[in-house]
Amino acid sequence: MIITGAIICDINGERRGDVRIEEGIITEIGENLSGGEIVSAQGCYLIPGLVDTDVRLKDAQLSRTNLEKLSYRALNGGITMAVLASDTVPRIDDEITLEFVQQHRYSQNGATIESSVSALNETGVLSNIAIMLKKGCVAVHTSTIHDYNLISRIAQYAKMADKALFYKAEEKSLIESGVMADGAIASQLGLPGIPPISEVVHVASMIEIARYFGVKVVFKSIKEPRSIELISEARKNGVSVECEVSIHHLFKNDSACLGFDTDAKINPPLVNEEKRLKLIAALKCGDIHSLSALHQPNSDIHKDITFYDAHVGTTSIAEYLPLLYTYLIATDLIDMSKLVEVASRAPAAQIGVEGGKIKVGSLCDFIVFDPSQSNLVPHHHSLYKNETLKGKVVMAICRGEVTRF
């Protein structure tokens, strides 16, 4: 197969050319290539497959159907590799559960599904991290743990296996009592707010853990500009920490909650416009290292209820690349090469995988994206429902398998 006329874009920039694919491998990149099946991609981007390391299943339920649906929808959104957060039901904390995920990691016409391991099991006891990492989990995953003996042992396991620690900084006592970010909108709606300190204080303490043990910590779905400042300062001092931010916190603010719209109830909660603009500035200057669709879909029964009682989360993975293009590229906030860096190369590197490049000799994991097309977000429980997005994924080649949409 030869893909012709595309704008080839990776972390090294943009160029026009043809790409020859043989048995799932890129064998030649050049101009006016001929021979075999010709696929015209005139006017389209050809980019490395996106990688999302903060993905959840519908209602958190770990099942074959949910895994297969996630796999297909992720590929439709431009993602060739998705990493499950470990807080599924049942939790990914033992070999039996991991084996089930791995049995369904390669769905036909779908993205590859990997998984992190929960640092603690259901009873709050340390899980068998070493065995789970040897069996194929790509990272250790946890939210805030107040027992510093436990968090120290978790950090040592991650260091020993040379794996990243995916860390969600949140104060559970505040998260459980609040339903959205503290501020004017929360007051207007009469809803209990979650103060910024819920995140910031635990980012600060975990930076010191990363410094002391020399372990790589990826802070998941950060929302506070102060947290980003702390992470940036630590990196300048040689601490191995990275900052992930969800697209929702870049694209929407807490006014999306007006009207008690439960689709805007996510974790972490949306912040005010002033903070959102600071997050955009942090992305542009490089202080945000990776992005996530923060996909966490729910059934109607968990969303068509009061805002206070509704579950957190929104569906977004099937529209991931069009959302990125509409809100970041079409608005000239960043260029496509920068997008590949934060949505492909960086998250791939966090799990020890090379990504972000289109080069001869590499396995085909890339996306053909047509920016001239548009589509209406169909899902009634999406934060972006009824919005028209720019661009469409028209082809994906994942693990050498060709999928046309």
What is the phi/psi pair of residue 353, to 5°?
-115, 140
Q: Residue-wise pLDDT tens for the chain (405 aa)?
A: 999 999 999 999 999 999 999 999 999 999 999 988 999 999 999 999 999 999 999 999 999 999 999 999 999 999 999 999 999 999 999 999 999 999 999 999 999 999 999 999 999 999 999 999 999 999 999 999 999 999 999 999 999 999 999 999 999 888 888 999 999 999 999 999 999 999 999 999 999 999 999 999 999 999 999 999 999 999 999 999 999 999 999 999 999 999 999 999 999 999 999 999 999 999 999 999 999 999 999 999 999 999 999 999 999 999 999 999 999 999 999 999 999 999 999 999 999 999 999 999 988 999 999 999 999 998 899 999 999 999 999 999 999 899 999
The CA angle 105-25-49, to the nearest 5 degrees, is 50
Distance from C-alpha of 186 to C-alpha of 140, rounded to nearest angstrom:
34
Question: Helix and strand tally (H, E) in the chain?
Answer: 14, 19
Superfamily of domain 49-356: Metal-dependent hydrolases (3.20.20.140)
Question: Long-range CB contacts (< 8 A, 24+ apart) of 373-382?
Answer: 375/319, 375/322, 377/319, 379/315, 379/318, 381/262, 381/263, 381/297, 381/298, 381/300, 381/303, 381/314, 381/315, 382/263, 382/314, 382/315, 382/316, 382/319
Contacts of 285 by beta carbon, 8 Å cutoff, 6+ apart: none
pTM of the model: 0.97
Which residues, in sequence order, are bridge partners of residue 396? 367, 403
